[in-house]
Amino acid sequence: MSPRKKQAVLLLNPHAEPSPDAIRTLLGDDRRWILTEPLVDVFISLLVLYLKDSTLLDAEIMAFMTKRLIASERTVGGPYGNDDVEGLEANAAIAQLFTQFGSPLPKVNAYVLDKKHVATTPLFTLLLEYPGALDHPQQPSEKPVQEPFYPAAHAVEGTIGTLHEPVKKTTMLLWQEMKRTHSYREIMSFSKDFGSSLIVSPALPNTIYDTLGQANAFFWLAYTIYDDFIDEEADSARLSVANIAHRKSFSHYESILEGGTDAYLTAVDEANAWELAYCRFATTKEDITIGTLPLYKDNMLLARRAHGHILGPLAVARLINISKAQEKQLYEALCHYLIARQLNDDLHDWAEDAQKGHISPVVAMLMKGAGIPTGRQPLDTTLRAMRSYFFKTGVTEVCNEVLRHTKAMRLLLRKTGLFDPDGPFFAYGIAIEDTAKAALTQHRQHRAFLKNYTANK
């Protein structure tokens, strides 16, 4: 047994507490050992390093590891190395490492498990079970997830139940779809979380928050359907549902705001009209016709399109009689939130949007940055150029813009002097920040990986 393999096996013990010197020795100063030492030595070492400190597997190590796997694969996706005892141990270590990554290699796992009754080395036996049993993958819990109960949601379903067919069935199906989205909790709790985050929590009855929850739910039903119509993806049978939901939302908001709703909802319609007029390019399966890129400027249009979502917090604010200056700061903070939220969504959907000719702010930025000329262009060439720019620069630009808006939201909320920064309302901005920061981290890791991979050919 080589010195490296011996040391790695000793450190593979889950109860081992390796000294910094032991880890440094295993890691080595020159990472080329990943390319030259026996396959089993390499992947037991990498598994140990990852288990002890996952950050040790930096971009350089991942690049060398990828090269070694490519050079060692018998078939695409594994297994790797020779079909002997050390090859089995190596594949068991590879299977465990990629399982820990959260990306199991099905061919490798199957190969290892098929050999488990043939190979009897202590190391191979250990790697079948540690750090996790390869033949007992974690099964998802069969226990049903308990749906949170919102009185407002119960009331929405009661209202839907009063409708006549076929509208009732269509509306209920759309409502059930909305309940399964990641936005459901936010839709129902947005106003309540706002009120709970105020330093002096207003003594408002729960019926107020229930009414605002219903208003927001109906707004989102209408908003989602209208958005599908704008994107030319809607079933015409849903238009009646959208109109009914829009009126219900308006009615609930008006019952509290008493005349302050129309201007906000008019802004929604105006923003939708602007998008239809200026943010659509003609496409076919092969081509896209590039026109004048829309000027989103400060992206305020994104906030106006979703004004209905922030009417609840604005209604609560009016009920507790805040000053005009505080109301202005609050409105601006909420707009920054809506912009960050939409940009974050567009960051992940830009390729699909571009293929449909929907020119979101992210699509417009990528087209401009990639230097896409006006006129009829091949769609695949256009997308390839946009992807190149996105990877080099675009993802950083968009994420930084998202973070700029979440920071502005947080600063303005604090400036009002109304909020507890640890309250649940701040969590909405933090969740978006975390997503943007994670995208930036992943982008840096990918760039570093490719840099190291190409530099060490």
Boundaries of every domain in the chain: 3-129, 152-455
pLDDT given at position 140: 41
**What does the pLDDT read at residue 14?**
63
pTM for the structure as a whole = 0.72
Query: What is the distance of C-alpha 109 from the center of its chain?
Result: 29
Nearest to 217 by CA among 105, 123, 81, 311: 311
The Cα 334–Cα 313 span in angstroms is 9
Q: Mean pLDDT for each 10-residue chunk of the chain (457 residues)?
A: 83 72 84 90 90 81 85 87 88 90 86 80 82 60 53 92 94 92 91 90 83 94 86 81 93 85 87 92 94 92 92 91 92 96 91 93 95 95 92 91 95 93 91 89 71 62
Token pair, residue 151, equals: 């009185």
What pLDDT sits at residue 148?
62
User: 48 near 12, Cβ under 8 Å?
Assistant: yes
Yes or no: say if 43 and 127 are a contact pair by the CB < 8 Å rule: no
Residue 324, CA distances (Å) to 55, 321, 425 in order:
50, 9, 21
Nearby residues of 161 by Cβ (< 8 Å), 6 or more positions away? 168
Do residues 412 and 329 make contact, with C-beta atoms less than 8 angstroms apart?
A: yes
Q: Note the CATH number of domain 152-455.
A: 1.10.600.10
Q: Are 264 and 280 spatial neighbours (Cβ–Cβ below 8 Å)? A: no
DSSP 419: B
Distances (CA, A) of 435 to 51, 193, 345: 25, 21, 10
Helix (H) or strand (E) holding 392: none
The H or E element that residue 259 is part of is none
Given a contact cutoff of 8 angstroms between Cβ atoms, the answer to whether 93 and 47 are in contact is yes
